[in-house]
Structure 1
Amino acid sequence: MPDASPWSVLKLLTWTTDFFKSKEVDSPRLDAEVLLAEVLGCKRIELYARFEEVPPAAARDAFKALVKKRGDGEPVAYLVGRKEFYSLDLEVEPGVLIPRPETELLVLTALDRLKARGDAAPMLADVGTGTGAIAIAVAKHAPAAKVVAIDVDPQAVALANKNAERHGLADRVFATESDLFARLKAERRFDLILSNPPYVTTNELMNLDPTVKDHEPHLALDGGPEGTDVIERLLAAAPDRLKEGGELLVEISPMIAARVERLVGEAPGLQHVATIKDLAGHARVVHARLG
């Protein structure tokens, strides 16, 4: 006999988790909880105290609509309009790359380098800022730092500025539209340049999960045939934008690590310092220095 019990929070979560599994969603239970918490206007953890509650019909209809979109491949972050990054809640929107957990290593490395350098008032650039995640996370934890957050996409620039203001950092994080450093004043120099550039090869992009391939901006993902088109341009431009002793930190894919290390070694004015690995032992951040 069909289950005629009311659609309680627990029943909604159980059914949706099974549905997402059938759609091969990576994190079916988590996604179900995030979407239901969004509809009910509560924290995800609070759902566990509300298992027996039966949400009103309007909430169930709203949840059903979100579940359908997620089942069709739309990223949860776009559906709820935000993503946590380095313990910060950031607004996201379709058309701008969703921050990734692996990028937190770039932030951690930048904060370590700032501490080691001891600059009184460090000036940083975040090239390809997207939502502003890197710039905002670094500025939040380095109170003396100022960051110019650069992106070629005006939508990303507007969103980064919005996120900076949301976190009370509009006086230290400035997002600006530019192709690398092209629209910055010629004399502008930085102690540290950070970047999470496009580094997926064009062929790899076509084989990514549809949630990424079909919904996130290729402009922020496609690094060209070798995955290094933007990285090569950045390496050529960085020496003229670094102060004496300045440093460059670039997030990479482990699959292009050797190529990027070789490119750094060939770049006039740059020295390869180290390649930092993530917790899984994969090459993730290339560290270079001017000199």
Structure 2
Amino acid sequence: MNAGKSLPGQSVEAARRSLTSRFKSGGVDSAELDARMLAGAVLALDLTGMIAAANRRLTVEESARLEVLAQRRLSGEPVARILGVKEFWGLPLRLSDATLVPRPDTETVVELALDMLRAGGALDRRLRIADLGTGSGAILLALLSELPNAGGFGTDISAAAVDTATGNAARLALSDRATFIACDYASGLSGAFDLIVSNPPYIRSADIASLATEVRDHDPPAALDGGADGLDGYRTLIPQAAAALAPGGALVVEAGLGQSAEIEGLMTAAGLTVAGQPRADLAGIRRAVAGRQLPR
């Protein structure tokens, strides 16, 4: 009955290999990585430490804790949720039930935002940034880590998400330049911004049931559901952002599959000038769309 489970007295290496095998059998795509991360979390060891401790024997308590985490992963819970932290742009971010798990695709927004600032000759001056629907604070904190002269505001309709982002800013020593506010997109902001970024909900309501278990059952529904066509959030945030941008300021948003052209249309309708081609992610999906508020 216990075949394959991590048992007291089993070596660290044997436990990791056993867990990898169980995850592969359970259909976990990143079985080896997930097994190493969960074992490392239980044993408080990084990769180097696990190699050095390969022959150490698990205690009863360690075996029990590892088994609990293994069952959670086999049930479809993502490793980031189990551990409560996810790296984004090289920054470790704490998560909560109110925040999405930051994904590598979203780093495309950070890349394009930095390029927009570079093209506008704004990288070296003091900048005012807003991140609308900030969640864990991922995009804003990534940008502030690259822009020492910038300060910014992150907004989220969820007060719990605001608390999570505020904590992340504190742990990254960015609290003096990052302020988080509970409001709907830009509705609680004032003044003009040099850069506005956003990763709004963009999944079509009818498509949510077919999402991967890790997303459908563990990410907050309000952060996923973009309405019938997935564009409800953009219809709200783009006009707000256009009104809040300083002359020459840029808006960069994340887009879902096949949505970039419609988002560009919403930007144009709000008086923004579409800035070049959308930026593709590593899968070739047009993931980040940019517009600029030209000086009047």
Q: 1:52 aligns with which of 28, 42, 55?
A: 55
Specify the alignment match of 2:116 in structure 1.
Answer: 113
Q: Flag the 1:250–1:93 CA change in 2: closer, same or farther, 3 A.
A: same
In structure 1, what is the Cα distance between the partners aligned to 2:70 and 2:52? 22
Matching residue's letter, 1:90: L
Q: What is the Cα deviation at residue 6 of structure 1?
A: 4.3
**What's the CA shift string for 1:207-260, capped at 9, x where partnerless?**
011111011101111111111100111122122101111110001113222222
Q: 2:139 aligns with which of 134, 137, 152?
A: 134
Specify the alignment match of 2:16 in structure 1.
Answer: 13
Specify the alignment match of 2:30 in structure 1.
Answer: 27
Name which of structure 1's ranges 166-175 and 110-119 shifts more when overlaid on structure 2.
Answer: 110-119
Specify the alignment match of 1:43 in structure 2.
Answer: 46
Specify the alignment match of 2:243 in structure 1.
Answer: 240
In structure 2, what is the Cα distance between the partners aligned to 1:113 and 1:244? 14
In structure 1, what is the Cα distance between the partners aligned to 2:36 and 2:228? 38
In structure 2, what is the Cα distance between the partners aligned to 1:258 and 1:108? 20
Q: Does 1:276 align with 2:282?
A: no
Q: Does 1:61 align with 2:64?
A: yes
3-state DSSP of counterpart to 1:52 = coil
Specify the alignment match of 1:122 in structure 2.
Answer: 127
In structure 2, what is the Cα distance between the partners aligned to 1:78 and 1:5? 26
Q: Flag the 1:117–1:258 CA change in 2: closer, same or farther, 3 A.
A: closer
Q: TM-score, normalised on structure 2?
A: 0.92
Superposition pairs of residues 256-271 of structure 1, within 5 angstroms: 256-265=259-268, 267-271=269-273
RMSD over aligned Cα, in angstroms?
A: 1.7
Q: 2:166 aligns with which of 116, 140, 161?
A: 161
Contact 2:133/2:154, CA 8 A, preserved across alignment: yes
Matching residue's letter, 1:241: A
Contact 2:8/2:57, CA 8 A, preserved across alignment: no
Count of residue pairs the alignment pairs up: 287
In structure 2, what is the Cα distance between the partners aligned to 1:84 and 1:17? 22
Specify the alignment match of 1:145 in structure 2.
Answer: 150
List 4+ stretches of structure 1 deviating above 6 A.
2-5
Q: Does 1:287 align with 2:271?
A: no
Q: What is the Cα deviation at residue 5 of structure 1?
A: 10
In structure 2, what is the Cα distance between the partners aligned to 1:165 and 1:15? 38
Matching residue's letter, 2:271: G
Q: What is the Cα deviation at residue 56 of structure 1?
A: 1.2
Q: What is the Cα deviation at residue 19 of structure 1?
A: 1.4
Structure 2 alignment gaps of length 5 or more: none
- Aligned identity (percent) is 37
In structure 1, what is the Cα distance between the partners aligned to 2:108 and 2:52? 34
Q: What is the Cα deviation at residue 264 of structure 1?
A: 2.4
Q: 1:73 aligns with which of 72, 76, 79?
A: 76
